[in-house]
Amino acid sequence: MQLSTASQIPVELRERFATAQRVLVLTGAGISAESGVPTFRGGGNSAVWKGLPFDVISSAQMVKRDLPAVWEWFDYRRDILKNLAPNAAHKAIVRWQRQSRFSEFTLVTQNVDGLHQYAGSTDVIEMHGSIWRARCISCHSTFEILRDDKRQEECASCGEHLRPDVVLFGEILPTGAFERAAEAAAKCELCIVIGTSALVYPAASLPEIAKANGAFLCEINPERTPLSDLCDVVLTGKAGELLDLIEH
């Protein structure tokens, strides 16, 4: 079932939301786009940073070749993000997480912008890390990067260089992140997928796992994706408008 107006929330979706005990929410770049976060993907071979394509400046190879250039790119991105705020969709998810009637509520994000945490969400499974953390290239200690403070250059534990604590092109996901998310997906009764392209694996497999185990699957996105045909309900529009309507 596909719906395209904010006022047409299916009764079954509202009922599922009202009665579900185990809920999984998966978010992608679309939810943050409503806060003004650029995707930073140039597409094809287009240069996005000083002549370097996105998948080059954001790659594991670039960390080894020119770590200062990688930091310059991520410092630039953080400088944009620090002036942006969570939107209505982020805030709705915080309310959902705080509802005691859910026995299990799992929030999984593919985003590195930290807006879920900024809005108040806790225990977020970050599939791709966070732009607001640095990680030692040697001992792997992690350090928070505060919004208004200058980031540290060296590891306080061993003195080695730090790198952004994000999953770059050519790297695997953080240990345990997908496993935790997949376990929650297999147990959830309701899975809501917000603002994802459904193209980036293994995150894109989480709704498939949920559906295969009997979950009711809802997609919220401005346009259809490869996931749409698998969903029980597809809501076409802005998450900031639609999430409030699901719970009322």
The CATH number for 71's domain is 3.30.1600.10
- Rounded to whole angstroms, the Cα distance separating 153 from 71 reads 10
Of the residues 114, 143, 166, the one at which a domain ends = 166
Do 90 and 109 contact (CB within 8 A), yes or no?
Answer: no
Task: Clarify whether residues 55 and 78 are in a common domain.
Answer: yes
The CATH number for 218's domain is 3.40.50.1220
Does residue 42 lie within any of the structural domains? no
Q: Look at residues 191, 197, 194 and name the one whose alpha carbon lies nearest to residue 225.
A: 197
Task: Clarify whether residues 74 and 183 are in a common domain.
Answer: no
What is the token pair recorded at 148?
Answer: 């208004």
Mean pLDDT of 99-126: 95
Task: Clarify whether residues 182 and 113 are in a common domain.
Answer: yes
Task: Clarify whether residues 20 and 124 are in a common domain.
Answer: yes
How far apart, in Å, are the Cα atoms of 122 and each of 34, 93, 98, 117, 243? 21, 11, 10, 6, 19
Annotated catalytic residue, options 90, 128, 140, 161? 128
Q: What percent of the chain has pLDDT over 70?
A: 93
Identify whether 90 is a catalytic site residue.
no
pLDDT in the model for residue 247? 83
Torsion of CA 111, 164, 122, 32, to 10 degrees: -30
Task: Clarify whether residues 16 and 67 are in a common domain.
Answer: no
Task: Clarify whether residues 160 and 51 are in a common domain.
Answer: yes
Do 9 and 245 contact (CB within 8 A), yes or no?
Answer: yes
Per DSSP, the three-state class of 121 is coil
Q: How many CB atoms lie within 10 A of CB 223?
A: 10
Task: Clarify whether residues 121 and 52 are in a common domain.
Answer: no
Contacts of 219 (CB under 8 A, 6+ apart): 192, 193, 194, 198, 207, 225, 227, 228, 231, 233, 234, 235
**Structural domain harbouring 200:** 2-37+85-128+175-246
Per DSSP (E only), the strands in 7-66 are 22-27, 47-49, 52-53
Task: Clarify whether residues 181 and 71 are in a common domain.
Answer: no
- Rounded to whole angstroms, the Cα distance separating 173 from 181 reads 12
Mean pLDDT of 86-108: 95
For residue 14, the surrounding DSSP H or E stretch is helix 11-19
What's the pTM? 0.92
Does residue 17 lie within any of the structural domains? yes
Residue 88 phi/psi, 5-degree rounding, is -60, -30
Our count of domains for the chain comes to 2
What is the token pair recorded at 10?
Answer: 């299916």
- Rounded to whole angstroms, the Cα distance separating 90 from 206 reads 20
Of the residues 111, 146, 166, the one at which a domain ends = 166
Task: Clarify whether residues 57 and 6 are in a common domain.
Answer: no
Residue 110, pLDDT > 70, answer yes
- Rounded to whole angstroms, the Cα distance separating 209 from 200 reads 15
pLDDT digits (tens, 9 = 90+) for 138-197: 999 999 998 877 888 899 999 999 999 999 999 999 889 999 999 999 999 999 999 998
Higher-confidence position of 191 and 1: 191
Task: Clarify whether residues 140 and 29 are in a common domain.
Answer: no
Does residue 27 lie within any of the structural domains? yes
Do 179 and 195 contact (CB within 8 A), yes or no?
Answer: no
Task: Clarify whether residues 66 and 152 are in a common domain.
Answer: yes
pLDDT in the model for residue 54? 82
Task: Clarify whether residues 79 and 104 are in a common domain.
Answer: no
pLDDT in the model for residue 40? 57
